[in-house]
Chains A and B, each alone.
Chain A
Amino acid sequence: MMRPTPLARLRDTALPWLLPIAILLGWQAAVSAGLVSNRFMPAPLDVVRAGWEAGRTGELWTNLWVSTLRALSGFVVGGGIGFALGLANGLSRVSEQLTDTSVQMVRNVPHLSLIPLVILWFGIGEEAKLFLVALGVFFPIYANTLHGIRSVDPALVEMGRVYGMSRTELFTKVVLPGALPSIFVGLRYALGIMWLTLIVAETISASSGLGYMAMQAREFMLVDVVVLAILIYAALGKLADALTRQLERACLAWNPAYRSA
């Protein structure tokens, strides 16, 4: 294989950022030149200024913290249950027969359609958000864990048995590592759904959080804060994705498809 020249490496690093930066510059130019109304779309610099303001008063950090906490706790609860049930159904025929049909039926209900019901049940408290996020995160983790365990090479399982592995060893050394690539796919899907659910839930019913901050700003026609909230969501999504990617590289280093260049 050819070793990348410094120029090629610079190009690989710079290329993905070229388009976003060009859009930002064009956007700023369009607003500054008066082509786009300030009320319709604030300039990037206005958004930065709004972010600075909100950060200075502490309002931004409180809301960011509240939202992150909601996202993570919902993710841990829903992902934990999904992972456990996926393992159980992947390993036990009885467990699968008992629960899989029900799970598949519930899965076809869009979880956001439950918002009116959830508000009736929980009001607009923390439980409502936690419930929705957990429900949304549950399915991709469950389905991909189950699929991962199902697709473990039976030849390797047979090998493990012949070589006298105990059930525990068979699980930790053969089944779980074999299912891991698929579980990571589920994890990344789940992270996307986690933010999506949280945004919707906070926009509709909340008294704090990033979505609430955006809705408040809309009331007062603070377009720059609205855009700021949207951009923060984008950044958080990207951050979660980048962390998963790092985790993947560390856990799946054996797999040539995940090895860093």
Chain B
Amino acid sequence: MLLDALRREAPADPVPETRSADAGSLPPPHQPAPAAGRGIAVTARDLRKSFDGHAVIEGLDLYLPAGGFTAVVGRSGCGKSTLLRLILGLEAPTGGRIVLEGPETGPRRSDPPKRIMFQEPRLLPWARVVDNVTVGLSGQGSRAERRDKALAALAEVGLAEKAGHWPATLSGGQRQRVALARALVGRPGLLALDEPLGALDALTRIGMQDLIERIWLAQGFTALLVTHDVSEAVALADRILVVEAGRIALDLRVDVPRPRRRGDPDLARLEGRILDHLLGAEPNV
């Protein structure tokens, strides 16, 4: 019953944001240019992190401009995931500091949130798809508003018709799209992606990459992608950081215009260069 109601409702009402009271802060989902003004800029100075005396990040300096798409690549264990968790505040640094600057100096509460997409979807198995998406709006607005926004976010990732389903009935790619909707529904200023597509098959992964790029262009948040898939980094990012032994070993701009075609020779050359660097770095590991 509930399911049918949702199915009927979803297509008839694709942009329910206009209904919500605080819609002023929300750009329409299909705005063409990278919507400026919402991204969070990240600065890290002499960042250090060690676990049980073992240094993972050693004096790393970093600046991520607001609204950019940066990819961090490196071998497993190089500290790239730790870097992301430090920036998100999931771990406390051992030394140095991280500054996140929102778009305007206003009251702290109005800062756009920072969100993360994990390698696994981490959906609540006991909550319907739409209720999983409203998790991204914890503590905001009324129940009905949250639900409307969640349905809109699901429509953005092409899963409006799955709103009333249990996560267990979705495919791996669909679950990751629900996780993306949950990350986006709160209109984040910073979206961290921790190898979110690693567990998906090749075709699904390409579809997800296109989806993430499209939404990033439309919403203008700062994106930080951690991945070990160099071709993914090259396809999506403006800038690629290669991390080695807790430091940034290589900082490359990707000037190839969008939309990027898969198999573009410029991208392939860049990918080759990064791979050469990674493979040449520590051949004994």
CA distance A198 to B88 in the complex (A): 56
Interface residues of B (CB under 8 A from A): 88, 90, 113, 115-116, 118, 120, 122, 124-127, 135-136, 138-139, 166-168, 182, 186
Tell whether, in the assembled complex, residue A164 and residue B118 are in contact, meaning their CB atoms are under 8 Å apart.
no
Instruction: Collect the chain B residues with CB atoms within 8 Å of residue A169's CB.
Output: 138-139
**A110 in contact (CB, < 8 A):** no
Spot the interface stretch: A28-36, A43-51, A154-162, A206-214. Answer: A154-162
Q: Pick the residue among A158, A165, A177 that contacts B126 (CB under 8 A).
A: A177
Chain A CB within 10 Å, residue with most, of B90, B120, B138, B168: B138
Interface residues on A, range: 20 to 34
**A227 in contact (CB, < 8 A):** no
Q: How far is the CB of B186 from the nearest CB of chain A, in Å?
A: 8
Tell whether, in the assembled complex, residue A254 and residue B139 are in contact, meaning their CB atoms are under 8 Å apart.
no
Chain A CB within 10 Å, residue with most, of B90, B125, B139, B168: B125
Write out, one digit per residue, whether chain A residues 219-261 have a CB within 8 A of any chain B CB (1) or not (0).
0000000000000000000000000000000001111100000
List the 10 shortest-distance A-B pairs measured between CB atoms, nearest first: A177-B126, A159-B122, A254-B126, A164-B138, A254-B166, A165-B138, A256-B168, A163-B135, A254-B125, A155-B122
CA distance A164 to B120 in the complex (A): 19
**A11 in contact (CB, < 8 A):** no
Q: How far is the CB of B190 from the nearest CB of chain A, in Å?
A: 12
Instruction: Collect the chain B residues with CB atoms within 8 Å of residue A164's CB.
Output: 113, 138-139
In addition to A159-B118, A255-B125, 6 A-B residue pairs with Cβ atoms within 8 Å of each other are: A155-B122, A156-B122, A163-B115, A164-B138, A180-B126, A254-B126
Q: How far is the CB of A257 from the nearest CB of chain B, in Å?
A: 10
Tell whether, in the assembled complex, residue B124 and residue A165 are in contact, meaning their CB atoms are under 8 Å apart.
no
**A166 in contact (CB, < 8 A):** yes
Interface residues of A (CB under 8 A from B): 155-156, 158-160, 162-166, 169, 173-174, 177-178, 180, 252-256
Tell whether, in the assembled complex, residue B136 and residue A163 are in contact, meaning their CB atoms are under 8 Å apart.
yes
CA distance A163 to B166 in the complex (A): 20
Instruction: Collect the chain B residues with CB atoms within 8 Å of residue A178's CB.
Output: 126
Q: How far is the CB of A231 from the nearest CB of chain B, in Å?
A: 38
Given contacts A155-B120, A159-B118, A256-B168, contact A165 B135 (CB under 8 A): yes
Instruction: Collect the chain B residues with CB atoms within 8 Å of residue A173's CB.
Output: 124, 127, 135
Q: How far is the CB of B160 from the nearest CB of chain A, in Å?
A: 20
CA distance A179 to B208 in the complex (A): 33
Tell whether, in the assembled complex, residue B88 and residue A254 are in contact, meaning their CB atoms are under 8 Å apart.
no
Q: Pick the residue among A163, A165, A254 that contacts B127 (CB under 8 A).
A: A254
CA distance A146 to B161 in the complex (A): 38
Given contacts A158-B90, A164-B113, A254-B168, contact A174 B139 (CB under 8 A): no
**What is the chain B residue whose CB lies nearest that of A155?**
B122
CA distance A256 to B124 in the complex (A): 14
CA distance A253 to B167 in the complex (A): 12
Q: Pick the residue among B118, B126, B166 that contacts A155 (CB under 8 A).
A: B118
Q: How far is the CB of A159 from the nearest CB of chain B, in Å?
A: 4
Instruction: Collect the chain B residues with CB atoms within 8 Å of residue A159's CB.
Output: 118, 122, 135
Instruction: Collect the chain B residues with CB atoms within 8 Å of residue A156's CB.
Output: 122, 124
Cross-chain pairs A/B with CB under 8 angstroms, 8 sampled = A156-B122, A162-B115, A163-B136, A166-B138, A166-B139, A174-B124, A254-B168, A256-B168
